[in-house]
Structures are given as C-alpha cells and as structure tokens.
Amino acid sequence: MSQGNTVGFGLLGAGLIAPFHAKSIQAAEGCELIAVADMNAERAAKCADTFGCEAVSSLEDLLGDDRIDVVCILTPNHLHHDAAVAAARAGKHVLTEKPPAMSLAETDAMIAACREAGVHLGVVLQCRVRKPIQAMRRAIAEGRFGRLIHADVYMKWFRAADYYRMDPWRSSRRSGAGVTIQHAFHYIDLVQYLMGPVTEVSARMTNMAHGDVDLEDTLDASLTYANGARGVVVASTAMWPGADVRIEINGSDGAAVMAGERMERWQFRQERDGDEAIRALGRGAVATAASGPADFDFADHQVVIEAMAEAVRGRGEPFIAAPSARKTLEIALAMYQSAARDVPVRLPVEDDPTIWK
C-alpha cells in the first residue's frame, strides 16, 4: 500500500467516466489518486490537472508504479480484458468498468488471472448501490412480494447523433457500443441482481433513430427467470427527451417501482414499520443519465471505490465481484444471439462471436 493504510489508485483511460472515479477516490477516506494514463496525452494532462495527480501515457506506467494498488480500467469495452490480465499479472488489484469484457471466455480469463495473482477483481455496476434497489433486494429475500410474477426494465433514453461520433468505439459493434451491452447493461444487471438467474430470453433489436451507425439503439426483450417469474426489458437511446429508468417488481403480495433513484411505488399487503421511510428514498435525487452520458452523480461510484479499498485492506470483497457481473454479461449475450437468430435462447450460452458482425 502506498502509505500506511492509504490505497493508491491509477486510472487507465481519461475519458468520460474518468472524473467519476477521480472524484470518488478523492472523496473516499484513505484513498489516493496517484496517476491517470491515456494514450491521448491531452486528455491525460487535462484529467491530471483537474484532479492533481500525475499524467502518464500507458498501462505499463501504472503497473510500474509501486504506489498504485488498484488499477481502474476505464477504456472502451473491448479493451478491458487485456488490461485486466496485465494488471493482475503485475500484482495490481483490478476495478473495471462495465461490461467486464466482450465475451464469457475473456471474463473467465480475467477472473482466473486475478485469482492466480491473489488480487481482487471488481466490476463497476454502481446502480446496485441505490437505496431503492437494496430495499427491493431485502424485501425479495424476506418473501414480502409473495410469488414473484414480473420484473421489468424500461430504459427510455435519448442520445443525440453526435454522442455516437464522440469517439470511434461508440459506433462499433465489436467494441460493445450497442444499447444492450453499453447502456441497458446496468439495468439488465439490476433485474438479475434482484431476481436471480434467467433461464430464457427472446430479444428484438432495431435501429430507430441513429441510421448512420450500424448498431441497435433499441432493444425489446422478454425474460424468464429461474424462480418462474417473467419480465421485459425495453431499452432505447432513441426516445427524446429521455426519461428516468424504471425498474418494476410485481408479486402476488407486493409491488415496487424505482424511477431513476426514487422509490416511486412501495406497496405490500402487509405494511411494516419503516415502509413510509422506504417510500421516501431517492426524493430530491439528481439526474440519472436519461438525457446525457455524464448527467449523473458520482456518489454510487464512491461506494464501489470505498468497497474496493476495503477489500485491498483485507476487509471484505469488492461491491460487485466479477462472477456476479458475468451473469449479466451472459444474459446480454443471449439477447444478441436471440436477436441475430430470431429465436428464443435458453441459458447458459456459449460465446458466439458472429453476433458482432
């Protein structure tokens, strides 16, 4: 560790998400941002100036710095695997942005490399931190919903055409730029986190409003969960002006809806003390990325960073461990396979690289 109990962080990638990590590290007790690496020197310098750390050009620079305990991988999705494996082999703990990688094989290789090196591998799926999600998870575990019937995602977002032109990877299927693996991934993750395994998906993918990119900007999927419930995922970046994501859970004895970060509905046949307080969760919350890629707060990232630092200190595990994020990746990949073949797909699935063609 860099000094005493201080956990040193290095960022790989100084793009859109980097400030969320930098602010979180600075706000987290006992954490220090040591350096930011980007092959784009201007971006690295700007980020380093803003957050008062060193600017370097490559992952190797971070790996050679003994003050750095954790490398945060903030590069485009198709680059997570190589960086994570290299960081693990250099003895660094790894916190990668979502999705963990572009295939199950790559994700498994990252998990194996970190296990062999004895380092932690965390994935940033920070929406799990939201208080309404934690309340839903507890209520499901306690059986308050009765028989679970439906768990749904409605992500009706808008991204203007220039979003897809900001960086070359944002319009590349192989880099993981489609709405399913890039944007909806967080919310597919939430229903997987809340409901448990998915056994079958049926998906359609279309491009409704971004004709100059070869990507799906709209996903309609239906899910069957192992617990017998059904669900739908409607996710789009074509729906101006964009609305807060809705996560809806319905059971025989209860109903809950999170909109953005707010608990919009929390109703059970058996009301309990504390339900009124749960209904107030997220009131006055800030934007949640419905209308722009950086329109959200860093507080949830901070919780993920703090948990990672505690794991490095030998206290606990990363907030989102990689095997759990792998389950979400598998569901997303099954959706691509279903849409490509126009058939329902049962899980587990194997990798099928033809989905990116």
Ligand X SMILES: NC(=O)c1ccc[n+]([C@@H]2O[C@H](COP(=O)([O-])OP(=O)(O)OC[C@H]3O[C@@H](n4cnc5c(N)ncnc54)[C@H](O)[C@@H]3O)[C@@H](O)[C@H]2O)c1
Contact footprint for ligand X (CB under 6 A):
12-17, 37-40, 43, 58-59, 74-77, 79, 97-98, 124, 126, 167, 182, 293
Give min distance, CB of 182 to ligand X, in A. Answer: 6
Give min distance, CB of 62 to ligand X, in A. Answer: 9
Q: Rounded distance, CA 129 to CA 320, Å? A: 10
- Closest to ligand X by CB, 7 or 74: 74
The CB density around residue 357, as the number of other CB atoms within 10 Å, is: 7
- Closest to ligand X by CB, 74 or 121: 74
Sheet holding 254-259, edge to edge: 262-268, 254-259, 246-251, 148-156, 230-236, 218-225, 198-206, 345-346
- Closest to ligand X by CB, 75 or 107: 75
Q: Strand, coil or helix: what is 299?
A: helix
Give min distance, CB of 76 to ligand X, in A. Answer: 6
Give min distance, CB of 143 to ligand X, in A. Answer: 31
Alpha carbon of residue 257 to chain centroid: 20
Give min distance, CB of 196 to ligand X, in A. Answer: 23
Give min distance, CB of 187 to ligand X, in A. Answer: 11
- Tell me whether strands 31-37 and 7-12 are parallel, antiparallel or unpaired: parallel
> How is 124-163 classified by DSSP, letter by letter?
E-GGGGSHHHHHHHHHHHTTTT-SEEEEEEEEE-B--GGG
- Closest to ligand X by CB, 97 or 330: 97
Question: Measuring CA to CA, how many Å separate 69 from each of 7, 32, 62, 94, 141?
Answer: 6, 10, 10, 9, 35
- Closest to ligand X by CB, 144 or 159: 159
Residue of minimal CB distance from ligand X?
Answer: 15
- Closest to ligand X by CB, 12 or 114: 12
Return phi, psi of residue 97, to 5°.
Answer: -70, 160
Q: Strand, coil or helix: what is 193?
A: helix
